[in-house]
Amino acid sequence: MVELRFGHQLNANWMLAGGYKKNVQAVDPVNSDFRIAAGEVRSHGFEINVAGELTPEWQVINSYAYVDAGVTRDNSLSKYKRLANIPRNSFNLLSVYELHNGFWCGLGLGVNLKYVVNVPVKQPYRPSPWTITP
What per-residue confidence (pLDDT) applies to 120?
66
Q: For the segment 64-100, what is each residue's pLDDT rounded down to a tens digit?
A: 999 998 888 776 666 777 777 788 999 999 999 999 9
Q: Which amino acid is at 102?
A: G
Q: Which residues contact 133 (CB under 8 A, 6 or more apart)?
A: 111, 112, 114
Residue 37 binned pLDDT confidence (cut-offs 50, 70, 90): confident
Q: For the segment 100-125, what is each residue's pLDDT rounded down to a tens digit?
A: 999 999 999 999 999 888 766 555 55
Q: Are 48 and 67 in contact (CB under 8 A)?
A: no
pLDDT at residue 44 greater than cutoff 90: yes
The single-letter DSSP state of residue 55 is S
Judged by average pLDDT, the poorest of 14-28, 49-63, 112-126 is 112-126
Query: Does the bond joining 124 to the residue before it have cis omega, within 30 degrees of 0?
Result: yes
What per-residue confidence (pLDDT) applies to 61?
96
pLDDT at residue 130 greater than cutoff 70: no
Compare 127 and 44 and report the one with higher pLDDT: 44
